[in-house]
Amino acid sequence: AELPPPYTAIASPDASGVPVINCRVCQSLINLDGKLHQHVVKCTVCNEATPIKNPPSGKKYVRCQCNCLLICKDTSRKIGCPRPNCRRIITLGPVMLIPEEQPAQPALPVQPDGTRVVCGHCGNTFLWMELRFNTLAKCPHCKKISSVGSALPRRRCCAYITIGMICIFIGVGLTVGTQDFARQFHATYVSWAIAYLLGLICLIRACYWGAIKVSYPEHSFA
C-alpha cells in the first residue's frame, strides 16, 4: 500500500500579508495568493502538486514514489501512475481521512510488507515484496535481474567453484588412472568428457554469480 500525501494547513501570512504553504516534496514556500479556491497548488521549484484542501467528496489523494500527486476514488485499492517514466501500479490500503477543520497531522502509514531496494544496474529505487534478502529481483525500471544482498551470489559462486574443481580433479584422475583401460574400451573417454564438461559448466556458473549485480535495501519495513 502507498501513503496519502500529508495534508498541511495553510500557513500564516508572511511579512507581506500573502498566505503561503510549504511544498510537501521540496519544502519550498508556495504563494497562495488567488489560489485559495483550488484543492491543490503547484510548486514553482520542483513542479510537484501539494494539497491545500481536503479532496472532493468521495475522493482521496495518493502520492506516488515518483512524487506525482494523484486523486482517486476513496474506495480504490489499486491505481496506476500516469507518468510515462514511472507507470507504477500502486496498491492502496485504508487511510485516515483528516477533517478540514482539524489541525493538519500526518495520516497513519500503512506499512508495506516489503523493502525499498536500490537497483544495482540503474540506481532507481523499487519496492521488493519479499520479506527476506538474498533473493533475485527484477527491477521494474530497467527490467534487469540483480541479487538483493551479496550473500546469495557469494555462496553460489563458492559452491560452483568447489563443485567445478572437484569435477575437474575427477576428470584428471580418470584420465591418468584409466588410460590403458580406455585404449580397449573407448566408451571410457565419455566419462572423461562428462567430468571435464561438468567442471567447465560449474566454473562458468561461478563466473556468472561472481559478476552478478547486487541491489542493496534502503531499509526494511519487516
Q: Assess whether 79 and 136 both reside in one domain.
A: no
Asked if residue 65 lies in contact with residue 88, where contact means CB atoms within 8 angstroms, the answer is: yes
Which pLDDT band, with edges at 50, 70 and 90, does 185 fall under? confident
Q: What is the rounded distance in angstroms from the CA atom of residue 222 to the CA atom of residue 211? A: 29
User: Of these residues, 43, 72, 167, 202, which one is catalytic?
Assistant: 72
Domain-located, residue 56: yes
Domain-located, residue 10: no
Known active-site residue 72: yes
- Specify the pLDDT at position 101: 35
Q: Which residue has the higher pLDDT, 113 or 146?
A: 146
- Specify the pLDDT at position 200: 94
Q: Which domain holds residue 79?
A: 20-91
* Residue whose cell numbers read 519544502: 27
Q: Assess whether 126 and 198 both reside in one domain.
A: yes
pTM for the full model?
Answer: 0.45
Q: Assess whether 172 and 77 both reside in one domain.
A: no
Q: How far is C-alpha 67 from the geometric centre of its chain's CA atoms?
A: 15
- Specify the pLDDT at position 108: 44
- Specify the pLDDT at position 123: 86
What domain count does the chain have? Answer: 2
Q: Assess whether 29 and 65 both reside in one domain.
A: yes
Domain-located, residue 96: no
